Every structure is written in C-alpha cells, then in structure tokens.
Amino acid sequence: MVDGFGACRAKHMVSLGTGVLVRHVVAAVRRRYAIESTPLSVSDQHAFTKGLTTMERFLTVDEVPDAHKEPFVLTGYRPPHRPWRYYLMSIFSLHNETLNVWTHLITCIYVLYMLNTYCGEVDYTDGVSGKLFLFYGISNFTLHFLSSCAHLLCSRSVAASHIAFSFDYMGIAFYLFNGSLSQCYTSSEPSFAYVVHPWYPWMAILLSCLYMVASAHSHVRYRMGDPKRALIQVCSFGTTYLLGTLPLIHRILSDVYNESVDDVTWMHVRHILLLVVSGFFYASEAPQRYFPGMCDVIGHGHQIFHVVGSASLLTQMQAIFADLQNRRHLDLVRPTDLSITTYYIVLLVSYGLIAFVFVRKALSIK
Ligand SMILES: [Zn+2]
C-alpha cells in the first residue's frame, strides 16, 4: 500500500528521473551531431531530440522560416541551422523530405544498374548515337542524384535551399538537353532529323540554359506555393521538353498515319503520358490541397511527381535503348564528334556561369 504522500513523492521522483534522462539524451544527441556553436533553447532541444525519432516531433509550419513553408504541409519540418551532418543523417528519419530523397536516390542507383546492363549489349564508344545514349544515361543519373541531394540539404537555410535547387535545375536542364539530342539522333524519322539537324542542337542548348535561368530565378524570387513560381517552372520545362519531344511526336504521327506503330513507339507514347501526369502532380498541389496536414510525410503531390516522373524517365531510357538496339540511328543524319564536343563545352560553360550567378545571389541573401 502506498499512502497519498508516498504516491506524490514517487510521482515527483519519476518526473525528476525523466527530466534527468531527457537532459542526458539531449546532451548525447548534441555530442553525436556536434552542435556546440550556439546553445539550444529548451524548445529547440525538445524539437531536435524528438525530431530524430519520429515525424510528429519535428517542427510545425509555424516554427520554420517563411521560405521553408510548404502550402498545406503542417508538420514534419526539420529545424534549420543545424550542422550539415544532421541533414545527411536525417535521411534515416521520417520527415517531410524523406520520401522525396529516397524516391530519387533509389532511381539514380537503378539508372546506373541499367547503364551497366546495357553496356553488355551495346558498345557506347561505337558511333555517335552510342555516345549520345551514354551521355543521356549519365544525365538521367545526374538529375535524380542532384534532386535527391537538394531535398536532403534544403532545410539548412534559405541560401542552402536556393543553392541546392539551382543545382537541381542544372541537373534537369542537362537531362533535357541530352534527351533532346538522343531522341533526335536515335529515335526520330530520317526526314525529320535531316530537316532540323542544322539548328536543333543549338536550340536545345539555348532552351536548356533558359530553363535553368527561369527555374533558379523563380525559386529565389517567389515563395513556395506562389502560383508564379510553378507557372514559370512548368512553362520553361514544357517548352524545352516540347523541343526534345518533337522528333517523337513526328514519329508517332507518321507511324499512326502509316499504320506501323510498333512496341517501341508505344514505349515513347507511355513515357510522354507519364511525364504529363507527373507534371499535373507537380503543379496542382494535389492531393495535399484537399487534405491539409494529412500528406505531410506520405502521399504528398511532390512525392507522386517524383515516382511518376522517374517511371517516365526510365521508360524513355528503355525506349531510346531499344531504338539503338534496332539500329534505327543508322538511317539518320548525325553530328560529328567535333560538333558534339563543341556542344558540351558551350553547354557546360553556360551552366557554370549561370550557377555562379545564382550561388552569389543566394549567398547575398540575409
Ligand atoms: Zn523534387
């Protein structure tokens, strides 16, 4: 039997013990993640310690800087201004960027696996189309890898978010350029490639760079959820993607007209349709718009955009490879090695200059 005083005393001891335990855990976590520069407030310690274990205990939308607030996402935000190691390790905990990181990380590893598998069937160094396919595969990998990094590190600060996503857009721009070239010089109709050949690669370089500038600018200029940001990004991506898809649209229409649609043409159709579906989830903010707070960790539209977009890109890669295997490119006009080297030098120098401008701009933000 425990009397009233004893029960009260026992309760006090338990509370004291819990307090000591929490302080020890906080100290251990701070040592583990090397957080020594600025002492954390009690509420910070609370959020940080809890943030390493379960999603519900990360920060709420009211506790993060405006630039990090996502429309209709109420919880699961990682705290800003922690050491880089904290964000790297956060890949193993459940917050509102976890699935965005993993969906593209797994895909980028799978792209490497596909490239390695295809390597046994096609010599990438044999001819222009083989090289273009290798560059396309590398750009497919780079897109997923840089996106994964951006989502992993973006919560550290506003500047980190701008820089990380500038590189993410560079990855997408690089993919758009390589997709355009591969589709034109491997998957198109001979008559189409012949007509567009003189200007097509230069137009692809121009639109790829414009896409990077427009997207990085809109990321710095407009907040998340501002319709202008999504509009600029979707329009600039759409225009560049349309140029890259023109060879396929011409091929699909020709095949339908000639009643000669084959399996590979259908793969190209699937890739285009999947990309359109992914674009819908990117721009519409569905389904979180209809269930605010319920899609914070799983089911957010951006995650669906990642999964469907990756499925589209993997289908595209399989389709271009199938065209390469079928030696379709042998009937097409193709650029010389010197031309390809020139395109990549111009492209990479342009990306470097654009990235330099936006990194400086991001670092100047207080
Ligand atoms: Zn993303």
Beta strands in the chain (DSSP E): none
Instruction: Please tell me whether 24 is known to bind a ligand.
Output: no
Q: Rounded CA gap, 61 and 126, in Å?
A: 54
Cα(62) to ligand 1 centroid in Å equals: 23
Cα(346) to ligand 1 centroid in Å equals: 27
Cα(147) to ligand 1 centroid in Å equals: 6
Helical (H) or strand (E) element with 111:
helix 98-119
Beta bridge partners of 59: 77
- Residue carrying structure tokens 């890949």: 91
Average pLDDT, the chain: 86
Domain residue limits, the chain: 2-80, 86-363
Cα(186) to ligand 1 centroid in Å equals: 29
How much is the pLDDT for 366? 64
Cα(21) to ligand 1 centroid in Å equals: 38
What is the second-level CATH architecture of the domain 86-363? Up-down Bundle (1.20)
Cα(236) to ligand 1 centroid in Å equals: 16
Cα(131) to ligand 1 centroid in Å equals: 28
Q: How far is CA 279 from CA 88, 146, 231, 241, 304, in A?
A: 28, 19, 11, 12, 10
Beta strands in 84-235 (DSSP E): none
Q: Rounded CA gap, 245 and 295, in Å?
A: 33
How much is the pLDDT for 57? 62
Furthest C-alpha separation in the chain? 95
Find the distance separating the first CA and the last CA of the chain, reported in whole Å. Answer: 62
Contact 224, 186 (CB under 8 A): no
Instruction: Please tell me whether 162 is known to bind a ligand.
Output: no
**Tens digit of each residue's pLDDT (9 = 90 or more) over 137-154:** 999 999 999 999 999 999
Q: Which residues of the chain have pLDDT under 70?
A: 1-57, 366
Q: How far is CA 44 from CA 2, 7, 40, in A?
A: 38, 32, 6
Contact 362, 163 (CB under 8 A): yes
**Tens digit of each residue's pLDDT (9 = 90 or more) over 127-140:** 888 899 999 999 99
Residue 97: strand, helix, or coil: coil
How much is the pLDDT for 328? 79
DSSP string computed for 253-313: HHHHHTT---HHHHHHHHHHHHHHHHHHHHHH-TTTTTSTTTSSSSS-HHHHHHHHHHHHH
Cα(246) to ligand 1 centroid in Å equals: 25
Cα(248) to ligand 1 centroid in Å equals: 26
Cα(193) to ligand 1 centroid in Å equals: 33
**Tens digit of each residue's pLDDT (9 = 90 or more) over 270-329:** 999 999 999 999 999 999 999 999 999 999 999 999 999 999 999 999 999 999 988 877
Cα(31) to ligand 1 centroid in Å equals: 32
- Predicted model pTM: 0.83
Cα(302) to ligand 1 centroid in Å equals: 6
Contact 67, 40 (CB under 8 A): no
Q: Rounded CA gap, 244 and 248, in Å?
A: 8
Cα(240) to ligand 1 centroid in Å equals: 18
- Residue carrying structure tokens 């699961």: 76
Cα(91) to ligand 1 centroid in Å equals: 15
Q: Rounded CA gap, 49 and 28, in Å?
A: 10
Cα(121) to ligand 1 centroid in Å equals: 32
Cα(304) to ligand 1 centroid in Å equals: 10
Cα(183) to ligand 1 centroid in Å equals: 24
How much is the pLDDT for 12? 43
Q: Rounded CA gap, 214 and 119, in Å?
A: 36
Q: Rounded CA gap, 320 and 324, in Å?
A: 6
Q: How far is CA 230 from CA 133, 226, 237, 242, in A?
A: 30, 7, 10, 17
Q: Dihedral sign, CA of 145, 209, 138, 346?
A: negative
Instruction: Please tell me whether 302 is known to bind a ligand.
Output: yes
Q: Which percentage of the chain shows pLDDT scores above 90? A: 73
Tally of CB atoms within 10 A around 105: 18
How much is the pLDDT for 22? 40
Cα(187) to ligand 1 centroid in Å equals: 28
Cα(269) to ligand 1 centroid in Å equals: 24
Contact 245, 313 (CB under 8 A): no
Cα(336) to ligand 1 centroid in Å equals: 35
- Residue carrying structure tokens 């579906």: 277
Q: Rounded CA gap, 281 and 301, in Å?
A: 5
The angle at the Cα of 228, spanning 227 to 233, to the nearest 5 degrees, equals: 100
Cα(146) to ligand 1 centroid in Å equals: 10
How much is the pLDDT for 357? 96
